[in-house]
Amino acid sequence: MEMARAFDTKLSALYKAGKIYGGVFTGRGHEAIAACEGVYLRKGHDVYTPFIREQAGRCAWGDSVLESARSYFGSALGLMRGREGNVHWGNPREGTLAPISHLGAMIPVVAGMLMAKRMQGEKDFVGVVCIGDGTTSVGATHEGCNLIAVEKLPAVIVVTNNQYAYSTPNHQEFACKSLCDRGVGYGMTTHECDGTDFLQTLEVMGRAIAAARAGEGPQWVVAKTLRMCGHGEHDDASYIPQELKDRFADRDPLAVARRQVQEQGWLTADEIAAIQAECADEVQRAVAQAQKEPTPNPATEDWSATSWKPTRY
């Protein structure tokens, strides 16, 4: 969570300095939810589909911020080699998918990976798909979730309700009382948590992921928070009422988590400060390296969209 916050803070500064191509999308307010997904997953064994605000999940899964930095800077040495950028990177061979922009589209892709693992005789695997309140409105989400339930796949759908889909508030996005109703409709076991409460989120996410892994069928988790930033760094989120922002002012998941881990006796204030310093250094190194690395060369680029080519005579 500290690493993700440090990275997002750095990215935001770089964006404002005009150093990033395109947009910057941060996860302020989402760190507890994302970290509590990633921490229960096994890289190379499970499937994880982070999307726009899951840097903390990527860190917890075990990916370095260097790869995220390479994605933003379009480094030729990155997994996406400048062909894809910002939050759209993945490493399918290790179990993270490179999400496309179309919301809901990755849900059935995760279903397909889980079905394949089942056919291949793998055991104890789970797939986590990250979606948001806005994603619940799109048709692909319905098709994918229904199919996951029909196939009884070991999937966990994490719905982060951050109350705004870009500028659209919940009441213009859906009319059911709770987004948990959707999960009930699909026939999934549902869970709900306060996504700003680190300990509660850790417990609920742990339970949901364990249940899916144990073969109890797909799980639907609704985690509520507030997007404590714009949709992207280009957006000042002035459409979010000040009173709502004020209500969440003391619920920053990072501040809550720092307090909770000290109350639990897991970490001291000094240890937290040391972690923060370490994260700041690593982010600094990752960004410096990604900026130094070669960029893709249009003259030597392989402008071929297929791996197979017909034989010419």
Partner 1 sequence: MSVTYIDAIHQAMAELLAEDEKVFLYGEDIAGKFGGAFKATKGLAEQFPGRVLNAPIAEDAIMGVAIGAALAGMKPIVEMQFADFGTLAQNQLGNNAAAHYYRTGIPVNVTLRMPCGGTPGGGPYHSQSVEALFAHYPGAHVLCPATVADAYYMLKQAVQIPDPVVFMEHKFLYRWLKADTWLEKDPLPIGRARIARPGRHATVVAYSAMVPETLKAADELAATSGYSLEVVDLRSVKPLDTDTILASVARTGRLLVVSEDFPWGGVAAEVIARVTGQGYHLLDAPPLRVTSKDTPIPYHPDLWKAHRPHSGHIVEAARYLMSL
Q: Which residues bind partner 1 (CB under 8 A)?
A: 79-81, 83-84, 88, 90, 92-93, 97-98, 100, 102, 105-117, 119-120, 139-140, 143-144, 146-147, 150, 304-313
Cβ closer to partner 1: 14 or 148?
148
Buried b (16+ CB within 10 A) or exposed e, 148-172: bbebebbbbbbbbbbbbbeeeebee
Between 149 and 223, CB nearer to partner 1: 149
User: Nearest approach, Cβ of 2 to partner 1 (angstroms)?
Assistant: 29
Rounded to whole angstroms, the Cα distance separating 8 from 16 reads: 12
Least Å distance, CB 272 to partner 1, is 37
Going by DSSP bridges, is the β-strand pair 127-132/47-49 parallel, antiparallel, or unpaired? parallel
Of residues 39 and 129, the one with the C-beta less far from partner 1: 129
| Least spacing, CB of residue 296 vs partner 1, in Å | 12
Minimal distance in Å, beta carbon 189 to partner 1? 20
Residue 205 CB, shortest distance to partner 1, in Å, is: 22
* Nearer Cβ to partner 1 (265/310): 310
Taking the least distance from each CB to partner 1, the nearer of 264 and 307 is 307
Smallest separation, CB 109 to partner 1 (Å): 4
Q: Quick one: 18 or 121, whose CB is closer to partner 1?
A: 121
